[in-house]
């Protein structure tokens, strides 16, 4: 890959390690977020900007190989998603349109119907949840912009696993409970397989799509996944720390009661179906194109220093 100018939008658990990788590789990176990160790698230019302002984003992206968007709201509340993600996506698309740069957009899988087998880019978008409906609306915005000539490609990832993730199944709080011999908070059925996207696989896929030939534009790829039960993940982590725990999931009725007092918890309630039955994802379109091996779990995903 040539050392190119790239714009990265987002300073969370994907955007931060993505920028760190690009800095190590010597790329010219303009890092965009609404507030200044606590740590900015050497050689990186950071700009405080709300990416909803597409014209300003386009100015920063002039001459850029790609705009890589890895920004998401911190809340799991559908109302917050609708309020923030719709104008953010519009701004990102405007930035790509006005600058002529490729937009590499990190997205989720919530827009798909869950009862159609392994989820692929061809799976019907028939969401049954509010967050799924919002994701479908965003995907429709991207498709409409692509028809008007915006150069965009979407990477859809499943639930994250990996070091330094504040919002994941095995985050720092969960790891600490496991070290103490306690079960972390789990929902659904801990014995059904679930697709997870490893953090570094997602970052690598974003970079690959930024530098791929132009024919990736207009397409949707699924990030590489691993399929594992939450019980196996927790027990593997416990072995790493020399503890043995009884894996327990919060009963659905108790989660619903907790949701009465917390919007984030209420956001989990509507996603119970994808944790209560096998949640399988087909990542073959990405792996075939980029010859990526199926991701493998390390023995531990204890958070490290990568998260900013």
Interval 114-145: pLDDT, tens = 888 899 999 999 999 999 999 999 999 999 99
Helix (H, G, I), strand (E, B) or coil at 48: strand
Per-residue pLDDT at 179:
94
What is the fold of 5-163+196-224+281-290?
A: Rossmann fold (3.40.50)
pLDDT of 201 above 80:
yes
Give the whole-angstrom CA distance, residue 266 versus residue 271.
Answer: 9
Per-residue pLDDT at 94:
98
CB 54 within 8 Å of CB 60: no
Per-residue pLDDT at 1:
62
CB 38 within 8 Å of CB 27: no
Give the whole-angstrom CA distance, residue 73 versus residue 20.
Answer: 21
Q: Where are the beta strands (DSSP E) in 55-199?
A: 66-69, 102-107, 152-156, 159-161, 193-198
- Mean pLDDT score, 32-50: 96
Q: Residue 154 — very low, low, confident or very high, per pLDDT cuts 50/70/90?
A: very high
Helix (H, G, I), strand (E, B) or coil at 266: helix
252: which residues sit within 8 A by CB, 6+ positions away? Answer: 187, 269, 272, 276
Q: What are phi and psi of 195, to 5 degrees?
A: -80, 130
Token output for 66? 């790609």
Domain assignments of the chain as residue spans, ordered by start = 5-163+196-224+281-290, 172-190+229-276
pLDDT of 262 above 80:
no
41: which residues sit within 8 A by CB, 6+ positions away? Answer: 19, 20, 23, 24
Give the whole-angstrom CA distance, residue 25 versus residue 284.
Answer: 27
Give the whole-angstrom CA distance, residue 20 versus residue 41.
Answer: 6
**Greater pLDDT, 263 or 34:** 34
Per-residue pLDDT at 183:
92
CB 152 within 8 Å of CB 68: no
Helix (H, G, I), strand (E, B) or coil at 226: strand
pLDDT of 305 above 60:
no
pLDDT of 256 above 90:
no
152: which residues sit within 8 A by CB, 6+ positions away? Answer: 93, 96, 102, 103, 104, 105, 142, 145, 146, 217, 218
Give the whole-angstrom CA distance, residue 147 versus residue 120.
Answer: 22
**Greater pLDDT, 116 or 89:** 89
pLDDT of 260 above 50:
yes
Give the whole-angstrom CA distance, residue 74 versus residue 81.
Answer: 9
Q: Give the model confidence (pLDDT) of 93-106 as tens digits.
A: 999 999 999 999 99
pLDDT of 38 above 60:
yes
Q: Residue 257 — very low, low, confident or very high, per pLDDT cuts 50/70/90?
A: confident
- Mean pLDDT score, 277-289: 95
Token output for 210? 């930024």
Share in percent of the chain as helix, strand, coil (round to 5): 40, 15, 45
> If 0-12 CB within 10 Å is exposed, 13-18 middle and 19+ buried, where does residue 120 land?
middle
Q: Residue 292 — very low, low, confident or very high, per pLDDT cuts 50/70/90?
A: low
Predicted TM-score (pTM) of the model is 0.92
Q: Give the model confidence (pLDDT) of 156-177 as tens digits.
A: 999 999 988 888 999 999 999 9
Q: Residue 308 — very low, low, confident or very high, per pLDDT cuts 50/70/90?
A: very low
């Amino acid at each position: 890959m040539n050392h190119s100018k790239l714009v990265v939008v987002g300073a969370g658990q994907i955007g931060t390690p993505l920028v760190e990788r690009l800095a190590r590789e010597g790329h010219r990176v303009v890092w965009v977020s609404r507030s200044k990160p606590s740590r900015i790698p050497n050689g990186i230019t950071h700009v405080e900007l709300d990416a909803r302002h597409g014209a300003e984003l386009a100015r920063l992206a002039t001459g850029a190989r790609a705009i890589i968007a890895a920004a998401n709201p911190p809340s799991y509340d559908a109302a917050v998603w609708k309020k923030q993600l719709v104008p953010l996506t519009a701004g990102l698309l405007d930035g790509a349109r006005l600058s002529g740069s490729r937009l590499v957009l990190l997205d989720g899988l919530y827009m798909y119907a869950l009862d159609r087998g392994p989820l692929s880019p061809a799976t019907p978008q028939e969401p049954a949840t509010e967050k799924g409906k919002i994701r479908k609306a965003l995907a429709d915005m991207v498709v409409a912009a692509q028809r008007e000539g915006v150069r965009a490609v979407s990477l859809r990832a499943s639930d994250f696993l990996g070091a330094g993730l504040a919002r994941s199944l095995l985050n720092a709080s969960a790891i600490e409970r496991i070290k103490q011999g306690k079960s972390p908070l789990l929902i659904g059925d801990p014995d059904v397989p679930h697709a997870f996207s490893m953090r570094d696989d997602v970052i690598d896929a974003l970079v690959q799509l930024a530098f791929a030939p132009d024919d990736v534009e207009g397409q949707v790829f699924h990030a590489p996944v691993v399929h594992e039960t939450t019980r196996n993940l927790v027990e593997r982590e416990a072995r790493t720390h020399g503890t043995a725990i009884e894996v327990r999931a919060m009963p659905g009725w108790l989660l619903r009661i907790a949701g009465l007092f917390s919007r984030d918890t209420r956001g989990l309630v509507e996603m119970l179906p994808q944790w209560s039955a096998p949640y399988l994802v087909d990542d073959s379109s990405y792996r075939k194109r980029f010859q990526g091996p199926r991701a493998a779990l390390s023995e531990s995903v204890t958070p490290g220093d990568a998260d900013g």
